Amino acid sequence: MLIEWKIAPVKDWHADAIIFFAFEKADEPLAGFRRYLEEKGGWLSGSGALKDFQAKPNETAVFYAPSGEEGIPRIILAGLGPADRFESDKLKNAAAHALRKCREINVARPGIAMAAFEGLPLESPAALRETLFGAVAGLHKFSELKTRNSEAEPAPETFLLLSEAEPDRPTIDAVLLAESEAAGVILARDLTVSPANRATPAFLAETARQLAERFSFKVEILDLDSAISMGMGAFAAVAQGSREPAYIIVIEHAPPGTENDPPLVFIGKGITFDSGGISLKLPDKLDAMKQDMAGAASVLGAFEAIGRSGLKRRVVGILPCTENMPDGRAYKPGDVLKSFSGQTIEVISTDAEGRVVLCDALAFAVKKYSPAAIIDIATLTGACIIALGNQVAAVLGNNEELIGLIRQTGADMGEKFWPLPLWDFYFDALKSEVADMKNVGDRSAGAIVGGIFLKQFVPNEIAWVHLDIAGTAWTDKDSGAIPRGATGFGVRTLFEIARGWPESGRTELP
């Protein structure tokens, strides 16, 4: 869907439909909509149909202009719910539902007036960014593998931005940001929803190569033999049970002049199918274990957004990608592994494989890059879902400022994070009689114990946080901007963290 500006007086606006927003139980329309009714939409202002519209969240209504009305034949109202409960999620979801209504009734060229944002508790550029993100992301469907009954509904061809004045720089930037992050989220969703026989480690490696070609990123693909020769015994142990080739994917965005800056490093768990290994999972919903690479997908999605936006900061992504399978060569409970850091790990459960591949990626990042900060993102523990449900991700780390930055940025982007503690005594659950640590403790504090395991591989002087997105990577509910299925959770937060990171050469937190 193209996004196109139309600068003209209100009387000269032309679109197949124009979208406005409304609050539930409001005494009067939002300021911009009220002004439009006065200047051009008088045919609707006294209509009983307008009074019937309740403006509940995700509610939409189409109002048709009388015959002979020129320029705008339809007005689409999208509900935001009560004004005192407004947050940016309501706006992007309303926009998504409005655009789906356009698809439903074959509206090819809908538009939204910049005046539609007047009266909202958001600055216009921020409101436009959320609206466009919701419009684009909410329309997307993954249909690449369908061959029957796959005729797609005709989506809107162009989304018109109607304004009486030329847009300023922040408004123009908002459009670019929305398009960039929507593309990133869509990439992450498509990778996560893809079946495991398609989205293999090799497929993720090829995706990284394509991103590198399009955006002039550097990319390095380390195969299993290379990982073994480098001393990545933990990653290799998980990978050796699969017949699919395993890879450590390293992708780097280093614009001219930033090549020597300490980078911001994103690490994404890329278990493309998790059977549990020898500690085999129960068959219920085992098909959902194709989602265990959602962390890696989110990092690739963030790099899609970074490439499109032309970010001027150095960012590195590291994706340990493999299947976890119960082959005759698979690693076993009781095995002791030597990690890249030199620390040894007693395997208690082969189904706690995510932390085992991530620990080598973390240690590799520390040694090779001396990073300004590390953020790892992973569908790590079912315990996180028990603790926080399916709409909130956990954030754990060694730096309170970075944890706070993640929480605030996530809140701004509509991605909720809640902190869990990493006090030293939690490591007691991982003490081993035969190795430096076990890979899992008992069932208590599972999400925290997963985090405390990873903490052993990052020195305290490097700011690090771990994002457990086990519950948020997939949804069974359609919320508008996030249709049922893979969510792309984390892409917007990672992208915005990269955008707001300190200027080149600085290593302290913002």
Residue 170: both structure tokens together: 């922040």
Q: Please, which residues bridge with residue 475 across strands?
A: 485
393 contacts 417 by C-beta, under 8 angstroms: yes
- The answer to whether residue 510 scores a pLDDT higher than 70 is no
Q: What is the pLDDT of residues 318-346, one digit of tens each?
A: 999 999 999 999 999 999 999 999 999 99
Of 134, 113, 135, 111, give the one whose Cα is nearest residue 30.
Answer: 113
Residue-averaged pLDDT of the chain? 95
User: What are φ and ψ of residue 475, in 5° steps?
Assistant: -135, 140
User: What are φ and ψ of residue 45, in 5° steps?
Assistant: -60, -35
* Per-residue pLDDT band at 506 (split at 50, 70, 90): very low
440: helix, strand or coil: coil
Measure the N-to-C terminal CA separation of the chain; round to a whole number of Å.
35
Which sign, positive or negative, has the C-alpha torsion 113, 88, 302, 134?
negative
Average pLDDT on 50-65 reads: 92
- The answer to whether residue 116 scores a pLDDT higher than 70 is yes
Question: Which amino acid is residue 132, in one-letter code?
Answer: L
Quote the pLDDT of residue 505. 40
Side-chain half-sphere CA neighbours of 150 within 13 A: 8
Side-chain half-sphere CA neighbours of 309 within 13 A: 29
318 contacts 371 by C-beta, under 8 angstroms: no
* Per-residue pLDDT band at 27 (split at 50, 70, 90): confident
Name the residue with tokens 């509610």. 59
* Per-residue pLDDT band at 184 (split at 50, 70, 90): very high
Q: Say what angle helices 124-139 and 88-104 make with each other, to 10 degrees.
A: 50
| Antiparallel, parallel or unpaired: β 373-378 and 270-274 | unpaired
DSSP, res 428: G
CB-based contacts of 258: which residues, under 8 Å, 6+ apart?
A: 312, 313, 314, 504
pLDDT above 90: percentage of residues in the chain: 89
pLDDT above 70: percentage of residues in the chain: 97
User: What are φ and ψ of residue 74, in 5° steps?
Assistant: -140, 145
337 contacts 273 by C-beta, under 8 angstroms: no
Name the residue with tokens 């690479």. 293
455 is catalytic: no
Rounded CA gap, 330 and 399, in Å?
Answer: 36
85 is catalytic: no
26: helix, strand or coil: coil
475 contacts 482 by C-beta, under 8 angstroms: yes
Quote the pLDDT of residue 152. 62
Question: Which amino acid is residue 67, in one-letter code?
Answer: S
Name the residue with tokens 């603790």. 387
Residue 460: both structure tokens together: 């305290």
- The answer to whether residue 287 scores a pLDDT higher than 70 is yes
Quote the pLDDT of residue 150. 57
Average pLDDT on 269-285 reads: 96
Out of 35, 109, 209, 281, the active site residue is 281
- The answer to whether residue 3 scores a pLDDT higher than 50 is yes
Name the residue with tokens 């698809």. 103
Out of 40, 290, 314, 355, the active site residue is 355
Instruction: Annotate 164-192 with b (16+ C-beta within 10 A) or e (fewer).
Output: eeebeeebeebbebbbbbbbbbbbbbbbb
Domains of the chain: 2-167 (3.40.220.10), 178-500 (3.40.630.10)
